[in-house]
Each structure stands twice: as C-alpha cells, then as structure tokens.
C-alpha cells in the first residue's frame, strides 16, 4: 500500500527528547516499511526515517526559539498533503482535527488517530460537526467522553521489540518519567517515595505552560534528599533509567489516553505502580506487570511488595501486547478496510452516474 503518515511538527520523528505522539508515528512508519509498504512521512525536516520524508518545516517547533506560531506551519503542511493526496492509497493523520474541513471536501481514504484527551467541552462542537470523520482511539477509555464518534477501532501503542533490553535484576530506586504538570501526579510520586523511604528519580520535561506550576509547587519538593530531578532524557538514556529502577510510578490524576512510558518500563521488565485513571487498567495487568492502587498509602504498600512481581512477566506482557509489529498490523487491517470501502463507494458513484440518463439511481 502507498501510505501517508502526517505527523505533528512540534517534535522531530523520532523526537530528540520528550514526545509521545511523534515517537509512535516513528515506530509505526518504520514498521510499515518493514512490512513492505511504501510510506511517505510529512514531518519536520530534522526527522530521521526510511520513509520518503516531506519536510514541512526545517526543524521541530517546540525547541525552536524562533517559532512563534506553530499553527502556521501545520496549515502549510496540510496544504502539501492535500496537493499530493492522489499519490496515496490512504492518508493517516496524527494532528487531531486540523484537517477535517479539507478532508470533508476531498474524497480520499483517510483516518485519524486521536492521541489526546477528549473530555474538554471545546471539542464537542467540532466533533459533532465532523461526525463522519473516521477516527481511531489509543485506548477504549479514551472514547468515553465522545462515544458517538465514527470509531474505526482501538489500537494500543507499540514499541520496537529490541528498543529496550530486559533487565532481570531490579534497582533500588523508583522512577518517574514524563512531564511536570498537575495531571501527571509528580507531587504524588514524591509523597509515595517519602513515605516509602525509597529514592525517587524524576526524568521529566517542563513545558513553558507548566513552568509556574514547577516553580511554585514542585521545585520546593525537590530539596528532599530522597528526590533527584534529572530533567528530560533521550531514548538512549531510558534503557538504564527505567531498567535499573525497582518500579515506575504513574500516579496520574487525569484520564490518560495512553501512557507510553508505562510500556517503556514493561519493555525493560520494570513493573508499574499506577492510579486507575484513563487507560491504566487497560495497560497494566494487575498483579502481573504492576499494581493498580487508589491512594498514596496503597502505593506505599505496593512499593514494599514490589519484589513479589516478576520482571520477566512484565517483559512477556510487553512482547505479547505492546510491540510495534502488533500495532502496525492492527493499523494495516484498518487501512485495508477503509480503502476497500472507498473503492466500493467509487463503484457505486459510477453506477449512479451511468443510470442518471434513464431517470433511475443504481444506489439509493
């Protein structure tokens, strides 16, 4: 198949540091190529890929100090996509609803993976208006606020099987990986570490929008000798950071659509202790790849008993459920279904056109 992948431009493909959506797009793109498909990737110019790269801006926007209006770059990217759309069997968008008005006016097989939260009131009118758009969820729980969307399926994220190595021997610290923001629960992670008496290492980025929260709420908590703030880390650093931890903490307090850091930990064999919000119950197998807890005190108890969980089991669950190969095959099945549906529609359109002269319709 000739497949276009349309990525956000905030991070490169793959990201240099933090970046969930762009990382998934990278894994999917490379796996589709491995499966024999012809892939064109619309992304930032500093991306690295075996696909045909259409550079839609010189470099990723988040760390580009000269970028003031990232939306402008995305509009230009969409214009390029639709000028080239006849070259593809299907276009797979990862940029939310930005393309909806254009996709409505240009008949072509396309699908959109929704990577973010859907519980915001502002989203309801736009998804109501474009309710025919075919979308994919990254967890079943992500659908809850908008169950009436035109869902084509749920495809869990996946990682290359050899990206992280299994580490059988646990370390002595707890890990927190992600963003510093209220919804990720880093303050709860610090409280869990303090009450457990176990060192916590925090590898996380601080976006400009969260800088005040970091300065006023989190920074004072970092003075505790049990807490070590590392900052953003790359994929190369994650292997040791996650693999050498006794457990990863994910005390999220928002409807997390899919926590990719959880499956990164599982790939290393590191179990996860998490609160049961959003996709967590779908990702973590209770008592096998981690413990799902409801309070800080329950998390402290889980830390004490983390040795009872098999690190080998965590890795096996990753290999069975969360590889890039499984993810790509799931998407290919959706692509085939949509392309065939578009082909059937085209034949129906031909039938209608041919029958108009006799005053009848081939399809009602």
Q: Does domain 173-321 have CATH number 3.40.50.2000?
A: yes
* pLDDT classification of 66: cutoffs 50, 70, 90: confident
The token pair that represents 33 in the structure block = 């190529």
* pLDDT classification of 351: cutoffs 50, 70, 90: very low
* pLDDT tens figures, 267-299: 999 999 999 999 999 999 999 999 999 999 999
| Domain layout of the chain by residue ranges | 2-158+324-352, 173-321
* Cβ within 8 Å of residue 306, ≥6 positions away: 170, 246, 247, 271, 273, 291
Matching CATH topology for 2-158+324-352 and 173-321? yes
| Maximum distance among all Cα pairs of the chain, rounded to whole angstroms | 84
* pLDDT tens figures, 229-259: 999 888 789 999 999 999 999 999 999 999 9
> What integer is the mean pLDDT of 18-46?
94
Q: Residue 228 burial by CB count (10 A; 0-12/13-18/19+): exposed, middle or buried? A: middle
CATH number for 2-158+324-352 (one of 3.40.50.2000, 3.40.50.300, 3.20.20.70, 3.30.360.10): it is 3.40.50.2000
* pLDDT tens figures, 78-123: 999 999 999 999 999 999 999 999 999 988 899 999 999 999 999 9
Please report where in the chains the tokens 């029958």 appear, as a residue.
355
Report pTM.
Answer: 0.89
Q: Are 56 and 76 in contact (CB under 8 A)?
A: yes
Looking at per-residue pLDDT, the higher value among 345 and 152 belongs to: 152
The token pair that represents 30 in the structure block = 């490379």
* pLDDT tens figures, 303-319: 999 999 999 999 999 99
């Amino acid at each position: 198949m000739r497949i276009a992948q349309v990525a956000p431009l905030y991070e490169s493909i793959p990201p240099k540091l933090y970046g969930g959506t762009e990382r998934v797009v990278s894994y999917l793109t490379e796996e589709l190529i491995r499966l024999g498909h012809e892939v064109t990737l619309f992304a930032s110019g500093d991306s690295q890929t075996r696909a045909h790269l259409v550079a839609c801006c010189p470099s990723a926007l988040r760390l580009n100090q000269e970028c003031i209006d990232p939306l402008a770059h995305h509009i230009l990217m969409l214009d390029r996509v639709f000028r080239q759309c006849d070259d593809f069997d299907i276009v797979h968008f990862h940029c939310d609803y930005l393309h909806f008005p254009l996709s409505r006016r240009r008949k072509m097989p396309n699908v959109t993976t929704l990577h973010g939260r859907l519980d915001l009131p502002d989203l309801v009118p736009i998804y109501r208006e474009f309710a025919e758009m075919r979308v994919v969820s990254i967890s079943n729980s992500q659908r809850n606020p908008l169950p009436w969307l035109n869902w084509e399926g749920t495809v869990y994220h996946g990682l290359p099987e050899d990206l992280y190595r299994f580490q059988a021997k646990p370390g002595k610290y707890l890990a927190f990986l992600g963003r510093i923001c209220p919804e990720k629960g880093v303050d709860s992670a610090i409280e869990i570490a303090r009450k457990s008496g176990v060192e916590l290492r925090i590898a996380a980025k601080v976006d400009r929008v969260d800088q005040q929260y970091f300065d006023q709420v989190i920074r004072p908590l970092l003075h505790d000798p049990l807490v070590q703030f590392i900052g953003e880390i790359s994929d190369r650093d994650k292997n040791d950071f996650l693999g050498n931890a006794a457990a990863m903490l994910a005390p999220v307090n928002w409807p997390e659509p899919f926590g990719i850091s959880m499956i990164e930990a599982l790939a290393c064999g590191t179990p996860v202790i998490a609160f049961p919000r959003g996709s967590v119950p779908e990702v973590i197998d209770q008592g096998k790849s981690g413990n799902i807890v409801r309070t800080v005190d329950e998390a402290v108890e889980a830390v004490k008993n983390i040795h009872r969980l098999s690190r080998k089991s965590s890795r096996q669950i990753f290999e069975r459920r969360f590889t890039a190969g499984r993810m790509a095959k799931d998407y290919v099945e959706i692509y085939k279904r949509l392309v065939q549906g578009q082909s059937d529609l085209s034949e129906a359109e031909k039938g209608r056109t041919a029958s108009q002269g006799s005053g009848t319709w081939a399809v009602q």
